[in-house]
Amino acid sequence: MPQPFQIDVSRDVAADVWIAQSSEVPGLAIEANDLVSLDDRLQQIVPELLEANGCAVGPTTRWTYLLRLSA
């Protein structure tokens, strides 16, 4: 099984949004008001971006979230 793509998720407290970015998914830089909404958007956009960048996308395509929190 292929390695999952890593997506970095962090909180922008000043803007009151969650941000997702990934060097492994070119073009990925999105934000949402909450983690559920962010996940919903990622479920749609990650496969589209991977296909647009020439990656084969299928039922075994996976990604993981690395959540970064700071006080």
Residues 3-42 have pLDDT tens digits of 899 999 999 999 999 999 999 999 999 999 999 999 999 9
Residue 71 has pLDDT above 90, yes or no: no
Residues 35-58 have pLDDT tens digits of 999 999 999 999 999 999 999 898
Domain ranges of the chain: 5-68
Superfamily of domain 5-68: TTHA1013-like (3.30.2390.10)
Residue 54 CA to residue 14 CA, distance in Å, equals: 36
> Quick one: pLDDT at residue 4?
92
Q: In which band, very low, low, confident or very high, does the pLDDT at 2 lie, cut at 50, 70 and 90?
A: confident
β-pair type (63-68, 5-12): parallel
